[in-house]
Amino acid sequence: MTRLADKVALITGAARGIGEGIARAFHREGARVVLTDIQDELGQAKATELGERASYMHLDVRLESDWERVISKVLELQARIDVLANNAGITGFEGASDPHDPEHVSIENWRSVHATNLDGVFLGCKHGIRAMRRTGVGSIINVGSRSGLVGIPGAAPYASSKAAVRNHTKSVALYCAEQGLRVRCNVIQPAAILTPMWETLLGSGPDRALRMAEYTKDTPLRRFGSVDEVAALAVYLAADESAYTTGPSLLASARSADRNVRTGSGVAAQLHKAVQPSRRQNRAHHRKTLPILPNSARNRDASPIAPSTSSAFRSSGRRRT
């Protein structure tokens, strides 16, 4: 397959999950891929596994100095960058179980999530555009989330950051067009995709099938999406066949964007439950900051199916859907 023959593609957050899937798909289609991540050992192993036409570089997407170094090195070695996939992101629950609802999230946690999910995309687009000016042609692919459309009360920073990615994509697309560049910018917004984060959440016990059904009950196909299905969208956006596509968001969730916005249920609601601290943590937090509420006013949104899963998010690393 040669839809991306000889194109130079840089992918962030490529050590695992959706980023790894995109890197593999690009490589299969003939691209020269540069995998980047902060998980250096894992990222290097994936590049080595891919073999010829694949390399790895350390890149912390929050740091402009890292972007400048990586872009400069890629241009030195490859002379151009044709495709940039801004995939790196975090949920905000890695290593902590602090509340992330709009009322109680700390400014530090808010800024931390946005630094990776939004600042990382901003910096990628900024330096990607500059690199693509060499040829005047290119494709920037941002990976957002359906959460940016429907919101998640228990993960407000994450949902906010993904909503901003969607809008910034449009700004970049319009800017490049106004500049006379044939650099297009699009965003993929996955819903429930089976990545390592979800695997940790679902587990392998007898309740796995029940959990999967609960998380996908509001999608017509009644199933999780696969990394390969998201990667296929990225290949389309990277290939010349999408040359007239810039600015829109492609929703990978087996349903229409309009219905997503209206309902905000299903996966988003279940993720809300998943990222809630335990009831004990909630009560302790409220006792410190608020008057004790009567039982009728307390949170009753605990899921009877999924346990408290902040630990799953904490161990999921720097990429989710």
The residues annotated with a catalytic role in the active site are: 158
Burial of residue 24 (CB within 10 Å: 0-12, 13-18, 19+) is: buried
Burial of residue 223 (CB within 10 Å: 0-12, 13-18, 19+) is: middle
Task: Return the ∠ at Cα 35 (arms to 66 and 320), rounded to 5°.
Answer: 90
Q: At 7, is the secondary structure helix, strand, or coil?
A: coil
Give the tokens for residue 286.
């409220």
List, in sequence order, the alpha helices (H) in 136-256.
147-150, 156-178, 196-202, 208-215, 227-238
Amino acid at 89: G
How far is 108 from 106, CA to CA, in rounded Å?
5
